[in-house]
Structure 1
Amino acid sequence: MSSESPDADPGDVRAAQVTNARIEDEMEQSYIDYAMSVIAGRALPDVRDGLKPVHRRILFAMNEAGVTSNSAHRKSSSVVGETMGDYHPHGDSAIYDTLARMAQDFSMRYPLVDGQGNFGSVDGDPPAAMRYTEARMAPIAEELMADIERDTVDFQANYDDRLEEPEVLPAAFPNLLVNGSSGIAVGMSTNIPPHNLGEVVDATVELIETPDATVEDLMEHVKGPDFPTGANIVGRNAVHKAYKTGRGRIRVRAEFEVHEEEGRIVISELPFQQNKSRLVERIAEDVNEGAIEGIRDLRDESDRDGIRIVVELKRDAMAEVVKNQLLESHLERTFGVINLALVDGSPQVLDLKQTLEHYVDHRREVVRRRSEHELAEREERAHILEGRLKALDNVDSVVETIQDSDDRDAAKAALESTFEFTEAQAAHIVRMQLGSLTSMETAEIEEEYEEVNARIERLETILSDLGELDQVIVDELQEIKDEYDDERRTSFIEDAGDVTHEDLIPEEECVVVMSEDDYIKRMSLDTFRAQNRGGKGIIGTGLKEGDRVSSVFAANSHDYLLVFTNQGQIYELKTYEIPEMSRTARGKSAVNLLDLDDGEEIESVVNTEDLDDDEYLTMVTRGGYIKRTAVDEFGNIRSTGIRAIRLEDGDELVDVEVTDGDADIVIGSRNGMAIRFAESEARAMGRTARGVIGIDLREGDAVAGVAAIDDEYHNWVLTVTENGYGKRSDIDEYRPQSRNGKGLVDIKTGDRNGQVVAIEAVTHSDHLVAMSADGQIMRTRVEEVSTVSRNTKGVIVMNLDPDDEVASVDIVPESVHAAADADAEADDE
């Protein structure tokens, strides 16, 4: 005011300092500032450590106060007071609620706080007052704090600039996924489910070792959420969507058993965050109001060992009906996944891979900074040890120099000038005690110096080689997994429902046709009556111009099929999901059923009804490779398919057979060669392996198919060529050889026969279904095909039009075609 005129009106001066603003603009900006404060400062977790500020501040305050897993428990009020006074000035009730939740084993998959006292229950009971409970850090919480004192993360001033707090914790494991998070911000919310630590660690390691791994690859490890209260996830599609998009709605069903003989239903696990006491009350209310019938008593027999809710049924009640009523209203909840977290201070919805990528980037930064910090310390120590060793080499002169000096400063100056010690070395030598001049002390210093130099070399390698740095992260993650991993609690169940769509589909034997343009349909097998060899067959499908048939196979309408494509992918498909159409219909685009890529075609189909856990899927490729993989490796097949075999560039999967480990394999080539060897010569491998060479192909040749021979069942090897010719040859004519040989001549190919289309192991009762590229289909008895020796041309099997050729062949066993023929005869009558 001193600069203003003495005669100025004070009111005018104040008015001149006021800035006019539109109230809408001011409110909008103020609200945005408030919203961002809530989003970044309270409601959303950081993607790197999975913690909100209040969680991070509580753990940091406990760590600073020494309330670790090795210390005695501390009153919760003390922890809350220190957190509120130093780092989080938002009220003690909010801090204590957070502290209590971190101690609840029914809220956190891996609790971060070790609580002592009443911290609440699944009945919704609140924790006791903070003055009655005690807490300390859980051991796994210390893994989040590990190395925080080694300049691994940035610090920021606390709310009153007295102290510093970390912006993020080092987080030695991916806590965001492991413990999940939930919160409501302004205009957005997050709801991340907890997961099994071992699965998340395995996925993280996979991403580090294979950076181009897809979400589907990571889901091979992360099966789905793993809730602390167990229960069951209904179906897998919602889980897959949540991991791919960051959003999804997962149905979680209680674990229960129906005891029909005893007339009771026992509930042992509840969906995550479901209030047990309120559940029992609601069931009782529905029984009293008549919404649920058949229940005569309801008891909560839960104790510290677990949940046990007993539903006693009336004598005439149907247990399945009561179960369905409970499922519909009480025993199933939806968990809405919103994988929203802060990335560089901004909220982002992340898929599974992005979440882990951000964590891996964080850990790389932590390990890099930690290594740099330790390297500086080690180099400083090495420098001091070099000075000590140099002093010991000149011990008499050094002692004499120190004795001749007037004081310590003079002694240090003399050492620096006389022996060229650095200032730090000279200061250390002056402080040395005479006892450190013994020969034993000298040996210890030399040993320590070697160790320090070795560690320096290791740290420099880590800092200069990303692969070495990543290996450190992998090793540390594996150590945490070994220490804290446990069994999965949440299981997966299929959504059976009361009456499924499958129950409404009549069970019948079908023929499924697939074209090169990916049109697919199914028809009843009895549409195609068995004919004599050499027939033309009947039209089996209508094709658009330029399209051709690529494959045909027989299956039951209720079968679950494993569908293998030429690109080495495997899909799971229910036969009844394939649209049923007439013989002349084109079919439906397969992209509506299978997530096929451009150029991807179905090459082989395996019926899961034929599979046992101790069997193998044996695959062969166009280039002659063979691979056996155990059936149980294909337990969880996503809707987008999974990899069945790794293919070399230009190679394709051709055929798949089910084998038991003791069968013989016959691989047939397009140019008529065949090789027989024991399947044990191709050792069992994992899904993503390439396999080994099964047949040594001549130039220009390629594999046509594979047959698995059971000596007690099969009589012949059947070979069919593209021009419609074929033959049966006795199995004994294919003498066993070693794998990776050129084989023997199986059938003569050439202008008349064309190249081989299929090779099959057959018995006298089998039927052959052959389909031409132009859509003709013919079914005939295998016995109609003449038995001739190996290395012959064979006989006509299917009469083809000019420019047509056999596209696909399938073998229908007696049990299947007999059932279809019986149904057809019944229809005729």
Structure 2
Amino acid sequence: MATDLSDPFDAIVDAPFDSALSERYLVYALSTITARSLPDVRDGLKPVHRRLLWAMRLLRLDPASGYKKCARVVGDVIGKYHPHGDQSVYDAMVRLAQDFALRYPLVDGQGNFGNIDGDNAAAYRYTEARLTTVAIDLMDGLDEDAVAYRPTYNGEEQEPELFPGLFPNLLANGASGIAVGMATSIPPHNAAELLDAAIALIDDPAADPLDHVKGPDFPTGGLVVDPAAVIRESYATGRGSFRVRARWTVEKEKGGGWQAVVTEIPYGIQKGKLIEQIAGLINDRKLPILADVRDESDAAVRIVLEPRARTVDAGVMMDGLFRLTDLETRIGLNLNVLDKDRTPRVMSLREALFAWVEHQFVVLRRRTEHRLAKIADRIELLDGYLVAYLNLDRVIEIIRTEDEPKAVMIEEFSLTDRQAEAILNMRLRSLRRLEEFEIRGERAKLDKEQADLTQLLGSEARQRTRMKRDLTRVRDRYGADTELGRRRTGVEEAAPAREIPLEAMIEREPITVILSKRGWIRAMKGHVELASAETLKFKEGDGPAFAFHAQTTDKLLMAAENGRFYTLAADKLPGGRGFGEPVRAMVDLDGNAGIVTLLPASRAAKLLVVASDGRGFVANVAEVMAETRKGKTVLTPRTGAVLKVARAIAVGDDYVAVIGDNRKMLVFPLNELVEMGRGQGLQVQRYRDGGLSDAVTFRYADGLSWPMGGETGRTRSEADLGPWRAARGAAGRMPPTGFPRNNRFADS
């Protein structure tokens, strides 16, 4: 018995695997693109949405009727039109009912359909739904052969290929979806603005829709803050993004306090997660000027933000929130849709709107042709009725006497089969005289309507006039004076959120920084007496090396003997209890390299940097600040030399004083030193034996001062420095009488 190979699963096909795989994957990809993920430019719907609305229409769930269980709708959809998962169909239905997700909801839901906090909708057995007037507008014309129908997946039913209504759903409600190799992202817009632009395109196909369309109009409001040129470029190419911010105001309180209140949040952001995001900033102290966040929302959004102090600048605080949270976000534009040939492509705003207008003209002509056919059918019957009234006695006689009255009437009065059948089906009470006048009146009206419609079909100018009139009528229903139609999203150009200054990120508090000789660092709260640093607890054999007052907002600059400079954040220093922590745990400092200096970077604009061999230069503080733990090499000492001095240059200092291990001092003008960012510099002082001991800058007119030592804290000054003044690089001479024996100009 021969084997039947007609079953494809029994047939063996010899084909390269890669070509077979690519063919099948291409079929899958095209199916995903055209039948699932991308909307049609003509009605803005994906198949699942279209089938949902069609099923609800067949269930007569119009706005004037009662609600029905969503389970009933979902059952009809997956059983008759869309054989996919019930949960995915219900999720699509829920979105059509959410007024915070759709600018113009197409489903009127009753029950829990989720909320802007991100809570899910109740199961479909608990919720009910019906259509909205927007959905009715979108489907207007389905009974008038305005669009083509096709069989459902099992061939038992018919479904429309698209919807014909005069509502610009694609751009009004937007769409999003991910297909294979492509995606779409279309934000919602204001329907009245779109219809105004469409009317302008009817008069002039080259008209600019942006003369009417201001920008996206999100159901949750907010502000589009992009420049007009950026918005125009996005719409011209069909690709781009819009920067959307929350809308907020400042509410004054008694006593001079204030709080910021957010009343609208960006589209697509879940309010619950946004609150958590802001609370996380507060808990992590990433925005210390923000003290608290409260959600006081009911039906309307109301998020209250409390500043740390009344002196906080509201703009700075909100800029910080815009940068760090979803109070500002970007919403993409990728106007990738299926055109009238079911081909996916990215359109500009004008192209998409013009494609929709073209579709409406096709719908207008189809509806006109359908109405003309109905009129012709009705006129045919009315003409038959008039024949009957004009020959009433003969018609009655034929019916009473003839065995086949239908054939006789057709032959005698030249009637059509439909006319004869209609006469035979007439009721006796229709034979009154008044009915004849009504038929003649109806016939006259139909003749006039038929003539008007025939002229409409034959004149593009009449079609344009009719289309503008119909669009204007729909536009009035969604005008700015209606609750549904008023614009919700403002378009106000604003600069990007400012970089948050350090003072705003860190709570400014006074501290006293102490670094020990062995490299243990700590920060005590407040500005304590520096003399008391000697009495603090240190590890055995350790003591204070540097102690100074600072603020938690300061950056500290630390220089090591190897010539590397490191940057420490004052707010990250360990507290004053205990011995502190090793500074080497905070930066990658060589264990053999000693610490030369530690000072707040804000106290100086420039530094005097000198090595032990007497070579040095002037460094700009901004250039020596390090971004990483590894620090930054500033001075590159020669073999055997180390960094000896790194001191701040005060404003007005114009001379340098240096002293060597040989106790010879030299004074020369500061401008004789070069300013560098990195290197060895120039010879500051020449030595025969030893090297540099100390160096300092000062104002020549004020003379040179140095501490006398002991507990008195007194200083001594030398006003006449002429004997020590020479050119840079000289050997110098013995210092003035009374100069400290440690060869230091200062204690640190």
Q: Normalised by the shorter chain, which TM-score bucket?
A: 0.5 to 0.7
Within 5 Å, which residues of 2 pair with 1:138-217?
A: 138-213=132-207, 217=208
Q: What's 1:225 paired with?
A: 216
In 1, the alpha carbon distance for the partners of 2:243 and 2:206 equals 31
Q: CA deviation at 1:245?
A: 0.5
Contact 1:109 1:227 in 2 (8 A): yes
Aligned with 1:237 (options 229, 241, 250): 229
In 2, the alpha carbon distance for the partners of 1:278 and 1:339 equals 28
Q: What's 2:618 paired with?
A: none
Alignment of 1:309 with 2:300, yes or no, is no
Contact 1:233 1:251 in 2 (8 A): yes
In 2, the alpha carbon distance for the partners of 1:256 and 1:262 equals 17
Q: What's 2:727 paired with?
A: none
Contact 2:319 2:498 in 1 (8 A): no
Q: CA deviation at 1:469?
A: 2.1
CA 1:15–1:230: 2 relative to 1, 3 Å: closer
CA 1:3–1:450: 2 relative to 1, 3 Å: same
Within 5 Å, which residues of 2 pair with 1:640-655?
A: none
SS of residue matched to 1:102? helix
Q: What's 2:741 paired with?
A: none
Contact 1:140 1:484 in 2 (8 A): no
Q: What's 2:267 paired with?
A: 272
Within 5 Å, which residues of 2 pair with 1:593-612?
A: none
SS of residue matched to 2:260? strand
Q: CA deviation at 1:474?
A: 2.1
In 2, the alpha carbon distance for the partners of 1:2 and 1:278 equals 67
Contact 2:97 2:109 in 1 (8 A): yes
Q: CA deviation at 1:17?
A: 5.2
What are the Cα deviations for residues 671-699 of structure 1, in whole angstroms up to 9, with x where unaligned? xxxxxxxxxxxxxxxxxxxxxxxxxxxxx
In 1, the alpha carbon distance for the partners of 2:9 and 2:284 equals 70
- Structure 2 segments unaligned to the other structure (5+ residues): 480-484, 500-748
In 1, the alpha carbon distance for the partners of 2:131 and 2:21 equals 43
Within 5 Å, which residues of 2 pair with 1:426-575?
A: 426-485=420-479, 486-497=485-496
Identical-pair percentage: 42
Q: CA deviation at 1:374?
A: 1.2
Q: CA deviation at 1:499?
A: 6.9
The code of the aligned residue for 1:248 comes to G
What are the Cα deviations for residues 496-528 of structure 1, in whole angstroms up to 9, with x where unaligned? 45679xxxxxxxxxxxxxxxxxxxxxxxxxxxx
Aligned with 1:339 (options 335, 338, 342): 335
In our comparison, the structure showing a higher alpha carbon Rg is 2
Q: CA deviation at 1:370?
A: 1.3
Within 5 Å, which residues of 2 pair with 1:262-411?
A: 262-304=257-299, 306-315=300-309, 316-330=311-325, 331-343=327-339, 344-406=341-403, 410-411=404-405
In 2, the alpha carbon distance for the partners of 1:35 and 1:14 equals 22
Q: What's 1:51 paired with?
A: 45
What are the Cα deviations for residues 380-433 of structure 1, in whole angstroms up to 9, with x where unaligned? 111111121122122222222222222xxx111111222222222111112222
In 1, the alpha carbon distance for the partners of 2:46 and 2:194 equals 20
Task: Point out the more displaced range, 53-62 or 434-443.
Answer: 434-443
Q: CA deviation at 1:454?
A: 1.2
In 2, the alpha carbon distance for the partners of 1:335 and 1:413 equals 72
In 1, the alpha carbon distance for the partners of 2:75 and 2:470 equals 34
In 1, the alpha carbon distance for the partners of 2:364 and 2:496 equals 50
| Number of residue equivalences | 486
What are the Cα deviations for residues 44-76 of structure 1, in whole angstroms up to 9, with x where unaligned? 100110000000000011111212222210101
SS of residue matched to 1:381? helix
In 1, the alpha carbon distance for the partners of 2:301 and 2:238 equals 32
In 2, the alpha carbon distance for the partners of 1:483 and 1:259 equals 36
Q: What's 1:794 paired with?
A: none
In 1, the alpha carbon distance for the partners of 2:329 and 2:3 equals 71
Q: What's 2:605 paired with?
A: none
What are the Cα deviations for residues 629-648 of structure 1, in whole angstroms up to 9, with x where unaligned? xxxxxxxxxxxxxxxxxxxx
Contact 1:250 1:335 in 2 (8 A): yes
Q: What's 1:120 paired with?
A: 114
Q: What's 1:818 paired with?
A: none
Q: CA deviation at 1:329?
A: 1.8
Contact 2:282 2:292 in 1 (8 A): no
Alignment of 1:38 with 2:32, yes or no, is yes
In 2, the alpha carbon distance for the partners of 1:292 and 1:151 equals 62
Contact 2:322 2:497 in 1 (8 A): no
CA 1:286–1:19: 2 relative to 1, 3 Å: same
Q: CA deviation at 1:341?
A: 0.4
In 1, the alpha carbon distance for the partners of 2:273 and 2:336 equals 30
The code of the aligned residue for 1:220 comes to D
CA 1:279–1:16: 2 relative to 1, 3 Å: closer
Q: CA deviation at 1:95?
A: 0.3
Q: What's 2:238 paired with?
A: 246
SS of residue matched to 2:241? strand
The code of the aligned residue for 1:495 comes to A
CA 1:499–1:24: 2 relative to 1, 3 Å: closer
Q: What's 1:548 paired with?
A: none
State the TM-score, normalized to the length of structure 1. Answer: 0.57
SS of residue matched to 2:97? coil
Q: What's 1:769 paired with?
A: none
CA-atom RMSD, angstroms? Answer: 2.1
The code of the aligned residue for 2:49 comes to H
SS of residue matched to 2:211? coil
In 1, the alpha carbon distance for the partners of 2:11 and 2:412 equals 70
The code of the aligned residue for 1:233 comes to V
Q: What's 2:74 paired with?
A: 80
The code of the aligned residue for 2:145 comes to D
Q: CA deviation at 1:437?
A: 2.1
In 1, the alpha carbon distance for the partners of 2:302 and 2:257 equals 16
In 2, the alpha carbon distance for the partners of 1:412 and 1:163 equals 36
In 2, the alpha carbon distance for the partners of 1:460 and 1:420 equals 27
CA 1:2–1:219: 2 relative to 1, 3 Å: same
- Structure 1 segments unaligned to the other structure (5+ residues): 5-9, 501-829
Contact 2:295 2:302 in 1 (8 A): yes
Q: CA deviation at 1:434?
A: 2.5
In 1, the alpha carbon distance for the partners of 2:142 and 2:11 equals 48
CA 1:16–1:401: 2 relative to 1, 3 Å: closer
Contact 2:197 2:209 in 1 (8 A): yes
The code of the aligned residue for 1:69 comes to P
Q: CA deviation at 1:470?
A: 2.6
Q: What's 1:71 paired with?
A: 65
In 1, the alpha carbon distance for the partners of 2:464 and 2:315 equals 53
In 2, the alpha carbon distance for the partners of 1:335 and 1:477 equals 29
Aligned with 2:93 (options 93, 96, 99): 99
CA 1:83–1:17: 2 relative to 1, 3 Å: closer
In 2, the alpha carbon distance for the partners of 1:364 and 1:144 equals 15
What are the Cα deviations for residues 142-163 of structure 1, in whole angstroms up to 9, with x where unaligned? 1111121222111122111111
